[in-house]
Each structure stands twice: as structure tokens, then as C-alpha cells.
Structure 1
Amino acid sequence: MTDIQLVVFDLDFTLWDCGGTWCDHTEPPYQRRGDHICDAGGNKISLYADVAKILHYAQQQQLPLALASRTYQPTWAKKLLQLFEIDDFFEVQQIFPDSKRTHFATIQQLTGVAYNNMLFFDDEMRNIQDVSSLGVKAVYVENGISWPIFQQQLAAA
């Protein structure tokens, strides 16, 4: 059984794709259109296919979730979380322009979970390296989080 007590996700290119760019390069206001969101320029923003399954599984397993995002437009990211109706899945949300080390220091302080009991998914290798140096099990996801990657990493932790 895993010793993971908290799973942390990045946002851009980890939980969602904002049309090949970061959410801080989109154009509010946003509109929900079925399973995706469009920005004012008509660009499509979508969760990766397995995100809902992963979030519901974690909720059923009572596995706490958190966010660590370095976006320069935190209010836009939070609006997208609300529109996708996934904001309530995350007990801690560190969404602001700073290093992941700063995000994780606050997450650790707020949750009391030791770094070595955290599992982190991100699409940027610099973040994986920074957070790994703290003792967090950090996993690089090249094309967004998927159910097989999530399951494999949770089981291996």
C-alpha cells in the first residue's frame, strides 16, 4: 500500500490544455460549452480525458488533493477551475507566480503532510527537479495526466 497522503497537480498541460498555451495567455471572459470552455477569442480549453476519473477516484479513496500552479493570472485559473466544476476537489490551492518550492512549502505548512508523503504531477522538468529535491515524489507528464500514469505512480509510491 502507498504511503502517499497528498497528491498535488500542476494545471497547464497537466490537468488541462488551453489550446496549446498556458491559461494566462487566454482571453477571458470564458464560456462553458459542453465538455470544454472557450475563451473570448474562441480558443478551446479542455481537461485531459482522464482528469474527472482521477479526481473522483481520489475523492472515493479519501486521498486529499492540492494544486501548485505558477500562473501569472491566478484569477483566470480559478475561474477555469470553477467552470470545469473541479475547484472543490482540491483542499489546498497554491496558484500564483512563484517557484514550486514556495508552493510546496505552503502546502506542507497548511496540510502537515511531509514532503516524502506527497506525489506531484507536472509537465515541466524544472519543476520536477525543484520539488524532487524537497523529497516529494515528482512525476513528469508529457501530454497531461492520464489514468494509467496516475494508477502506476500511486501504486509505486
Structure 2
Amino acid sequence: MARQPAKTLWYDRPRYVFMEFCVEDSTDVKVDLDDYKVVFSCKNADGIEMYNEINFYDRTNSKDSQNKRSGRSITLFVRKWKEKVAWPRLTKEDIKPAWLSVDFDNWRDWQGDEEVEAAMVEQYAELMQSVTKKGPPPAMDDLDDDI
């Protein structure tokens, strides 16, 4: 029986690259990960062998990476060797396989987040100052003792 690639979604974060191999009711799951590539294989609910081999865009820290299996997919968290360096693509090759897609639901442009976070902290501090101004306590004489 021929094997076929599993549909794979990926997204980038400052410390990790996340991959989701979309195979429902998978069995015989194998994830062989080294610093430069991952080989994923399993069988789907119909017994068809799924197989993906991905040579990474850059070096990873395979010892600090994990995978998690659910009923719908297998998610792989791969630690980057160089943190805070954006990956423009998942694969070393500049050719995008048909089975590989960006996970736009989880994708975000995290470069420059430090400035955004600093602005959010400043906005939060201003909000807290306006809220913490104390006045007289509210009158509670209209509350009824009966529950």
C-alpha cells in the first residue's frame, strides 16, 4: 500500500516552531526528530500510512522539543536553536509542498512585539491610575437584609 503525506500546518514563535500533522484517529504514531529534520509517520483511521519528512529551515534543539497527540492531530513543538529569529518558511528548500500550509489562525507577526508590549504596559498603568483614585464609599442603605 502506498503512503501519502499528512496535511501539515505550521506557525512561528520567538522560541518555538509549531507543526500540526492533521490525521484523525491516528495509530502507530512515530516522530523522529533531530536538530535538522523531522520524520513523521502514522496510520490514519482507514489504515493508510501517512509519512512526512521535513528538513528544517534552520537548526533546532531536538532535546527541548515535544509532541502531543489528540484524536484529530499530532502537534509538534520544536525549540529553535536561535531564539527570536523569525523563520520565513518551515523547510530548508525554497519550494512549498502541496501538503504544507501556514496556520493563519495561530500565526502572528511577533517581530517588534517588545514595542507593542511596552505600549500595552504603559496603557495598563494609566488605566490602573485612573481606577485607583479613591472617593467616598458608596451608600449601601438601600440593600435589603432578606435574601
Same fold, TM exceeding 0.5? no
TM-score norm. by structure 2 comes to 0.31
Question: For the pair shown, which has the larger CA radius of gyration, 1 or 2?
Answer: 2
Between structures 1 and 2, the one with greater helix share = 1
Greater relative contact order (Cα < 8 A, sep 6+) = 1
